[in-house]
């Protein structure tokens, strides 16, 4: 099962040298010359999805053991038979890593010495078939991704405890580059005459201290004195409204800003001038909802999209609330906009207008119903400058 290593940091490993000399009571165990006991190893905090194989080596005993993973307990476990005395325990974790991911750099502090050699003894079985295509065609290799070591003194007939930290050897994720910032673009004059140079300056910064490059361009005929400098001169050769653009780049990332310069004819008989045009869009208002509510009647809205515009019947002489909503299509401008409610019968009085957003407004009114048998038309209207809209509904008094 090939799984990408996802990270092991500061993981505690509990090692117990549970030393049991061969029984003197006539047991069936056979002594192994030179070996005095065993170390039972349990590694917590890892999973088979993070580490494909975990190998513990004891030196100078030169005993090596590939631990087995238990999904029930979430631990790697195994037993090493060791002689008494001081032993260096080295734990190496291996995982399948894409071959184009680079070699993990453990640094000098994480050097476990020659015992970290995976070698043939670290055979984890047929499942570790390195070279499988993964992630868009790249191959995977069984790679050392974590290591740790600790020294333990094995004493006969004594249980010895030691803690071991296994450190992640994989390199950190790369830091994305920060694009440059243009703090300002300055021009000595926004208008000039043909062949009269103006000065352009861009102020940019790269927070990574990467070198900056500049490129000035123009939308109309003209020339830059230094098109690849932060400060340059530019002169237009024909009358026109010209867009001057500067692009600032570092390590392949580019930002840009533009400004407009008007070039006039030169000389006493020049007949060109400039005009600055400012436009304001005016949207047609839409009265999209009418609502009626009153004694014993819930809020009853009718929307513009409804197939029938009939409100609930009302009782004679009762006072009700009539409200309508308008979408003006944008923020208020210098032009006038207004709302009005007209009812063909009864008595109506405006309470308040409210606009919870720049474009949406409500108008609330009090209406007293006339005599029974009267059919009334309610019309809500809105004006935005010279554009108007209205929405009508019917009410029966009964």
pTM over 0.85: no
pLDDT exceeds 60 at position 137: no
CA nearest 286: which of 327, 231, 242, 235? 327
How far apart are the C-alpha atoms of 246 and 184, rounded to whole Å?
Answer: 11
pLDDT at 45: 56
Question: Who has greater pLDDT, 156 or 352?
Answer: 352
pLDDT at 382: 96
Instruction: Determine what percent of the chain is predicted with pLDDT higher than 90.
Output: 49
Strands 181-187 and 37-43: unpaired
Q: Which residues lie closer than 8 Å to 176 by C-beta, 6 or more apart? A: none
pLDDT exceeds 60 at position 338: yes
Q: Could you please report the per-residue DSSP string of 22-39?
A: PPSS--SPPP-TT--EEE
- Measured in residues, the chain has a length of 398
**By 3-state DSSP, what share of the chain in percent is helix, strand and coil, each rounded to 5?**
5, 55, 45
pLDDT in tens, 66-113: 888 887 877 777 777 788 889 899 999 888 877 654 444 433 333 333
Provide the pLDDT confidence category of residue 289 given band limits of 50, 70 and 90.
Answer: very high
pLDDT exceeds 60 at position 5: no
The residue behind tokens 């043909």 is 194
**Mean pLDDT, rounded, for 253-266:** 93
What is the CB neighbour count within 10 angstroms for residue 300? 13
How far apart are the C-alpha atoms of 65 and 54, rounded to whole Å?
Answer: 9
The residue behind tokens 């006991």 is 37
Range with the lowest mean pLDDT among 34-38, 169-173, 287-291? 34-38
pLDDT at 307: 92
Provide the pLDDT confidence category of residue 266 given band limits of 50, 70 and 90.
Answer: confident
Instruction: Determine what percent of the chain is predicted with pLDDT higher than 70.
Output: 73
The DSSP call for residue 306 is: -
pLDDT at 123: 39
Alpha-carbon radius of gyration of the chain: 42
The residue behind tokens 């974590």 is 146
In 60-132, beta strands by DSSP E: 63-70, 75-82, 85-98
pLDDT at 236: 95
pLDDT exceeds 70 at position 135: no
């Amino acid at each position: 099962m090939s799984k990408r290593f996802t990270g092991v940091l500061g993981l505690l490993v509990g090692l117990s040298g549970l030393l049991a000399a061969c029984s003197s009571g006539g047991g069936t165990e056979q002594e192994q010359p030179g070996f005095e006991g065993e170390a039972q190893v349990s590694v917590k905090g890892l999973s088979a999805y993070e580490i494909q194989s975990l190998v513990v080596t004891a030196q100078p005993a030169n005993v090596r053991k590939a631990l087995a993973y238990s999904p029930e307990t979430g631990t790697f476990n195994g037993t090493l038979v060791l002689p008494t005395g001081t032993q260096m325990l080295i734990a190496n974790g291996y995982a399948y890593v894409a071959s184009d991911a680079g070699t993990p750099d453990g640094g000098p502090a994480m050097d476990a010495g020659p015992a970290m050699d995976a070698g043939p003894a670290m055979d984890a079985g047929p499942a570790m078939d390195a070279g499988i295509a993964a992630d868009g065609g790249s191959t995977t290799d069984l790679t050392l991704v974590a290591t740790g070591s600790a020294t333990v003194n094995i004493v006969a007939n004594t249980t010895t405890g030691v803690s071991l930290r296994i450190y992640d050897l994989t390199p950190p994720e790369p830091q994305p580059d920060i694009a440059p910032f243009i703090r300002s673009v300055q021009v000595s004059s926004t208008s000039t005459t043909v062949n009269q140079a103006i000065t352009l300056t861009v102020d940019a910064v790269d927070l990574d201290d990467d070198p900056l490059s500049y490129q000035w361009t123009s939308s109309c005929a003209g020339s830059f004195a230094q098109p690849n400098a932060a400060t340059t001169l530019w002169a237009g050769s024909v009358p026109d409204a010209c867009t001057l653009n500067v692009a600032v780049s570092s390590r392949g990332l580019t930002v840009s800003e533009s400004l407009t310069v008007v070039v006039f004819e030169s000389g006493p008989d020049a007949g060109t001038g400039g005009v600055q045009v400012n436009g304001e869009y005016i949207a047609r208002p839409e009265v999209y909802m009418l609502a009626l509510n009153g004694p014993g009647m819930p809020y009853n809205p009718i929307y513009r999209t409804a197939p029938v515009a009939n409100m609930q019947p009302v009782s004679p002489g009762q006072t009700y609330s009539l409200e309508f909503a308008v979408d003006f299509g944008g923020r208020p401008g210098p032009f006038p906009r207004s709302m009005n409610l007209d009812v063909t019968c009864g008595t109506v009085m405006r309470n308040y207008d409210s606009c919870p957003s720049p474009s949406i407004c409500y108008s609330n009114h009090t209406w007293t119903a006339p005599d029974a048998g009267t059919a009334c038309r309610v019309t809500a209207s809105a004006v935005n400058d010279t554009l108007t809209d209205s929405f009508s509904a019917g009410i029966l008094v009964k």
